[in-house]
């Protein structure tokens, strides 16, 4: 079993686009800095975490380099029209309830202003 963060498993890294990988790399480097600082001041509780974060950083660099060389494919980002379809498929009752709630709120505001 590989040591590292469960969130940054190689299978998960394959699904990230390059921007997300750079973001994760930045987070991991910040965490490594903080862990080294804690180690130097004697506040570090888990020394194994240093090793795990270093491996995560190396894993991210490996994925980025493999994509650069064409060994690993960059994931294609597909638009998400499914959410829009779900919003359109609201039932008539739900739409009517939303409208009546909006009307009631408008009446309350008008009453307070008067």
Q: Identify the pLDDT of residue 94.
A: 58
CB 5, CB 56: distance < 8 Å: yes
Q: Identify the pLDDT of residue 79.
A: 62
At 2-39, the pLDDT tens digits run: 566 777 888 888 899 999 999 999 999 999 999 999 99
Q: Which structure tokens are listed for 44?
A: 């570090």
Q: Is 0.75 surpassed by the pTM of this model? A: no
Any idea where the domains of the chain sit in the sequence? 6-69, 82-113
DSSP class of residue 4?
S
Q: Identify the pLDDT of residue 1.
A: 44
Q: Which structure tokens are listed for 81?
A: 């029209």
CB 13, CB 59: distance < 8 Å: yes
CA distances from 19 to 15, 65, 88 (A): 12, 14, 31
Instruction: Provide long-range contacts, Cβ within 8 A and 24+ apart, for 89-98.
Output: none
Q: Which structure tokens are listed for 43?
A: 């506040």
Fold classification of 6-69 (topology level): Helix Hairpins (1.10.287)
């Amino acid at each position: 079993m590989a040591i590292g963060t469960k969130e940054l498993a190689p299978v998960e890294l394959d699904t990230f686009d390059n921007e997300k990988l750079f973001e994760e790399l930045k987070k991991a480097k910040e965490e490594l800095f903080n862990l080294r600082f804690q180690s130097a001041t004697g506040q570090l509780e888990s020394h194994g975490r240093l090793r795990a974060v270093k491996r995560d950083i190396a894993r991210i660099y490996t994925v980025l380099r493999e994509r650069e060389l064409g060994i690993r494919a960059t994931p294609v980002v597909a638009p998400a029209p499914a959410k829009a379809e779900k919003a359109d498929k609201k039932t008539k009752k739900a739409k009517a309830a939303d409208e009546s709630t909006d009307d009631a709120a408008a009446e309350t505001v008008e009453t307070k202003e008067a």
